[in-house]
Amino acid sequence: MEGVRILTTAANTNQNIIRKVPLFLDAIKFHESVFALPFAYIGMFLAADGFPGWHAFIWITVAMVSARTVGMAANRIIDRHIDAKNPRAAVRHLPSGLLKVGEMVGLTAVALVVFIFAAAQLNTLALILAPFAAAYLILYPFTKRFTWAANLLLGWALAISPSAAWIGVQGSLSIQPVLISLAVAFWAGSFDILYHTQDRSFHLTEGLHSVASRFGIVNAFRFARTLDILAIGVLVTLGVWMSLSWPYFVGCGGAVAFLLYKYSLVNPSDLSRMGLAFARINAYISSTMLAGTLAAIYL
């Protein structure tokens, strides 16, 4: 009977975990992996000057998705008390009780093991640097508690991916992937600045830090536009440096068009369409750059 009870308990636990998979995916905004993954693939394809082979492709993909899961799950755990006070974030899974802290800790631990294992399948340098990347992803959520540069540091969290993918292919780092990472840092920092303009009043009340809470919403938009301009400038510089063919620059032009469209959706006096500007436009930008890069490589 004891054995039956143990088996029944294990079966119920497995069923409970399976039932909560959609909640886990929603909690970490799994669909938003499309923001950074295309830039990781840009680093990967440029490093290999084409398709790097299925081994590298699969393990780089696994590493990127699992690393992002580590960062997002840790962010949800670290910020759960802040989220509970924020009307916009109170519906998230931990403050609303849909998921438990222990469950998110378990997800973080599993994702971390998968990330380290994936890095080990690539090369020695990838394995050596993986713990440092994971530590950055886990620790950067704390920065909003003491510096307005937290938005920029979020940009660098996403910027890890192109250089990491390059290392995954070549086992070394050079200036080209650093330029891609710099562009991603500018671009991601820009949209994080804009996204958190929604929370300016809450941040001021709670003593939290962001560009908007420090400099105001109007200046936050100016800051974001400057970063977007720098991002495009760096991407164009990369294309010239690597002598990439014309489709790459068409991709840059497409990214500019989407950025202009983003600023037509939101402005300092109207943040109501921030969700559309954040979720869709960013995915279009990264996907357009990937398409242009692939076309440049193969055409």
Q: Quick one: pLDDT at residue 4?
A: 44
Fill in the amino acid letter for 73.
A
- Count the Cβ atoms, other than its own, within 10 Å of residue 250: 15
Distance separating alpha carbons of residues 92 and 248, to the nearest angstrom: 38
Q: Which helix (H) or strand (E) holds 239?
A: helix 217-241
Q: Quick one: pLDDT at residue 14?
A: 54
SS3 216: coil
- In the CATH scheme, what is the code of domain 2-298? 1.10.357.140
Closest CA to 277 of 25, 30, 35, 22: 35
Tens digits of per-residue pLDDT, 118-143?
999 999 999 999 999 999 999 999 99
Q: Quick one: pLDDT at residue 3?
A: 52
Note whether 299 and 259 are within 8 A (CB).
Answer: no
Q: Quick one: pLDDT at residue 88?
A: 87
Distance separating alpha carbons of residues 183 and 158, to the nearest angstrom: 10
Could you tell me which residues are beta bridge partners of residue 267? 270
Note whether 166 and 173 are within 8 A (CB).
Answer: yes
Q: Quick one: pLDDT at residue 34?
A: 66
Q: Quick one: pLDDT at residue 7?
A: 44
Domain boundaries, the chain: 2-298
Distance separating alpha carbons of residues 260 and 218, to the nearest angstrom: 17
Per-block average pLDDT, block size 10, for the chain (299 residues)?
A: 50 60 77 79 96 97 95 94 91 90 94 98 97 96 95 94 97 96 96 94 94 96 97 98 97 96 92 80 92 95
Kindly provide the residue ranges of all beta strands, DSSP E only, lying in the chain, ordered along the sequence. none
The predicted model scores a pTM of: 0.90
* Pair of tokens at residue 126: 């990838």
Q: Quick one: pLDDT at residue 221?
A: 97
Closest CA to 127 of 167, 68, 71: 167
Cβ burial of 227 (10 Å; 0-12, 13-18, 19+) is buried
Distance separating alpha carbons of residues 30 and 28, to the nearest angstrom: 5
